[in-house]
A and B are shown apart, each in its own frame.
Chain A
Amino acid sequence: MLKDVTLGRYYPIESPLHELDPRTKMVAILIYIVTTFLASTPITCALTFLVLCLLIHLSKVPVRYMVKGLRAVVIIVVITDLINIFFVENGLWKAFIVTLRMIEIVLGSNILSLTTKPKTMAAGIEKGLGWMKRLHVPVHDFATMISIAFRFLPILTQEADKVMEAQKARGADFESGNLLRRAKALMPILIPLFVSAFRRADELALAMDSRLYGSGEPTSLHPLKYNTSDGVSYLLAFAYLALVIVLKVVHV
């Protein structure tokens, strides 16, 4: 029942996008998201959508799997659309833009997480923000936190399921009643889950300490380095950003 949490996780195949450096992908996706906000005319909207299709194609992730990620935002989109259509001037077009933007942002960031391993992503963030170390920002610790969160997500999900089953067997009812009642019914799950998560965290911290975590300047088994394809990607991404800005300025 909680399996859906794992959506949007790494999709292990080989593709040009899988091979790119995580820093390149993060910058490119950030640029892409910026352009979706800039796009407001039919031509620019078509352009951003075209780029999205191109990225999905390059990622080689099946479209069906990709669009599953949209389920999470359907309700929000529908509500904003209804408000736009009924209460806002020129609402149909606005609703269209908002919907498109939402889809593009969700799928855009999905492309990033589907083509990049959590560990690589963390390494990318660490390296990309490396300059902040000089300001005593614990960048490496944040990166470790992220990869550990990904490692324990399936374990905790499984555990939540187990606790839920156990409470159901004792007659707990999670599916009926109003929102407040259902939220209350969740308490007997959350408490054991928290207790166990803290115990795990405690033990994990000991295991990490004993393996010399934080003893010096760490190295990596998978050091990041840029290839030609990364250079090309940066170039394309910035060229695309420039194009959208120009189109915006000349009101096309």
Chain B
Amino acid sequence: MPLIEVDNVTFSYPAKDGGVNALTGLNLKVEAGSFVTVLGSNGSGKSTLGKLLNALLVPQSGRVVVDGLCSSDKANVYEIRKRVGIVFQNPDNQIVADTVEDDVAFGPENIGLALDQMKVRIADSLASTGISDLALTKPEKLSGGQKQRVAIAGVMALEPKCIVLDESTSMLDPKGRTEVLGAIQKLRMEKGIAVILITHYMEEAVDADYVYVLDKGSVALEGTPSEVFSDADTLEALGLELPPAVKVWQMLRAKGVVVSVPVLTEEDLVSALSKLMRQKGGASC
């Protein structure tokens, strides 16, 4: 059984807020410990999906099942939130307390954890996100990347099975972005936590186990990164731009240059091209 199952979900916001159908007939699965990327242009329903996954929103029809718990049952809401944590876009608007340590403690305090357990969890989460030395720092003294790692540590302190990042790197500079993505991958490797990365940067999808592309509230395209990237026309029609390396590879293919392995990253491209040159070079001599 997958960790998360989204089954034919429809969701619309109340009529007074515009009443659009944010999601229609959405299906999606996330296996325990896997890395799933959700792509889509503005307004395609990505954030709505993120909020459905930890029961901040409940679908009007269809089901969201997390670890066997259906979010439509009110009694499951808190249990689901313990299992799926979410990190939002704006680093300033999710830090509650006036020191890093106190902020990470917020979740454990809310579930009424005993003091000694709480201290262990705080130390663990700070260490696993690499910010132990910032424990007593005030939020206003942190860089954007550090703030987002604090937010991740705050989620980790609840020991979730899955963490959702809703465009959590989009307000950061390149350094901050690498910092945060690195921390997330480390958590996945070391703690076996499933990661759902919501983004509109296609580059961030290349390492994923599985990719979903949303459009107008339903899945327009899905598969492994190489499967999804090979459908350039659909992606373009959805307003998404391929990573540069993939673009070059596809232009080469269109020109009749045969590169066997699928190319996703710049390293792939370099190694594929140098292999090609060696073959060509061998033939001409």
Residues of A within 8 A of B (CB): 117-119, 144, 147-148, 150-151, 154-155, 199-200, 203-204, 206-223
Contacts and interface: CB of A to CB of B under 8 A. Distances in A.
Contact of B139 (A151, A210, A222): A151
A213 to B, nearest CB: 5
Contact of B102 (A119, A211, A214, A223): A119
B111 A147 contact: no
Contacts of B95: 151
Given A117-B98, A203-B88, A211-B155, A218 B93 contact: no
Contact of B94 (A155, A204, A222): A204
A206 B118 CA distance: 23
Interface stretch (B78-86, B229-237, B255-263): B78-86
A141 B78 CA distance: 18
Main secondary structure of the interface of B (DSSP, over half): helix
- In order of increasing CB-CB distance, the 8 nearest A-B pairs are A207-B94, A203-B93, A221-B105, A211-B107, A212-B110, A215-B78, A210-B86, A216-B112
A212 B157 CA distance: 12
Nearest to B106: A211
B109 A155 contact: no
A218 B109 contact: yes
Contact of A155 (B82, B92, B97): B92
Interface in B128-151: 139-140, 151
B37 to A, nearest CB: 20
B92 A147 contact: no
A205 B110 CA distance: 14
A147 B98 contact: yes
A203 B82 CA distance: 19
A170 to B, nearest CB: 25
B93 A220 contact: no
Interface of B: 51, 54, 56, 78, 81-82, 85-86, 88, 90, 92-98, 101-102, 105-115, 118-119, 122, 139-140, 151, 154-155, 158
Contacts of B86: 207, 210
13 contacts: A147-B96, A151-B95, A151-B139, A154-B140, A199-B93, A206-B51, A207-B88, A207-B96, A210-B86, A212-B110, A218-B110, A219-B108, A221-B102
A203 B81 contact: no
A221 B114 CA distance: 9
B96 A204 contact: yes
A150 B158 CA distance: 25
B120 to A, nearest CB: 12
Given A147-B97, A154-B140, A210-B81, A216 B111 contact: yes
Given A212-B78, A212-B81, A221 B101 contact: yes
Contact of B96 (A117, A148, A154, A219): A148
B236 to A, nearest CB: 32
Contacts of B51: 206
B35 to A, nearest CB: 20
A3 to B, nearest CB: 14
Contacts of A216: 78, 110-112
Given A207-B93, A211-B154, A212-B82, A118 B98 contact: yes
Among B51, B85, B92, B139, find the residue whose CB has the most chain A CB atoms closer than 10 A.
B92
B133 to A, nearest CB: 18
B90 A214 contact: no
Nearest to A118: B98
A219 B114 CA distance: 7
B90 A203 contact: yes
Contact of B112 (A117, A209, A217, A223): A217
> For A118, A206, A214, A222, which residue has the most chain B Cβ atoms within 10 angstroms?
A206
Given A210-B86, A211-B154, A119 B98 contact: yes
